[in-house]
Every structure is written in structure tokens, then in C-alpha cells.
Amino acid sequence: MSRYGPRIAALERRAERDREAFDPAAATVEDGRQYLRDGAGQAIWLYVEARTGGRMVPFSESELTALRTSMNGWLELYARCHGVELEAEFTVREAAEVLLETRNVFHTAQLLTRVPER
């Protein structure tokens, strides 16, 4: 387990709670933005933090899976807040590359998910 293990585990637990508590009838676009700010963006940034500045922190397979599953879960909730059913299957690396290009988690989510359509 990397030194990021506890943070990854906390993100994983929060993603699960968010999925369980999600109510599509009450979901708003602002809720979707919150899933990006407090969820997917945090997961992507953790990966960026661990892989930049000459560090290249090695993640275990279970850590990468937890990060990917959590991030994709939040991206799915974001899309559902826009009325779109989506099965997100992005890697954290590809999301990190888009985030580093856009410098904005909202643009990153839109480019990855195509939600909302431009």
C-alpha cells in the first residue's frame, strides 16, 4: 500500500456513500458539480499529486482500482444529474491528462463524458 492508501480508502468510502444516497428525482445540476468538486476532482488530483514532481508513487492494483471506481462513480452521478445514464470506464491517468490540459475539473468531466453536450 502506498502512502496515499488512507486517502484513497476515504475517497472510496465517500463514493460509495454518495452512490447509495443518490436520488435521481431530487438531483440537480449543482449536485453534479459538487460530485466533481468534492469527489472525482479529488480522486484525479490525488493521482496527479502522486505522479508529478519527479515522485511517481507506486500504487497497488487495489489502490488504482479503488481510485478508478470512485472517480467513475462520481462521473456517472454527475451525468445522471444532467439526466444522462452513463457507464463511465475512464482510467484515472486519462482523466489526469485531461485535467492537466484544462486545469478545470468541470471541463475535464465534460470532455470525458460529453455531458452536457456542447
Using DSSP's 3-state secondary structure scheme, residue 110 falls into: helix
Nearest 5°: the CA angle 47, 51, 56 is 130
Give pTM, 2 decimals: 0.95
Question: Total domain count for the chain?
Answer: 1
Does residue 18 lie in a domain region?
yes
**Three-state SS sequence of 61-87:** HHHHHHHHHHHHHHHHHHHHHCCCCCC
Q: What is the pLDDT of residues 1-41, one digit of tens each?
A: 778 999 999 999 999 999 999 999 999 999 999 999 999 99
Does residue 118 lie in a domain region?
no
Region 92-98 average pLDDT: 97
Q: What percent of the chain has pLDDT over 90?
A: 89
Q: What is the pLDDT of residues 34-73, one digit of tens each?
A: 999 999 999 999 999 998 877 788 899 999 999 999 999 9
Expressed as residue numbers, the domain containing 29 is 5-113
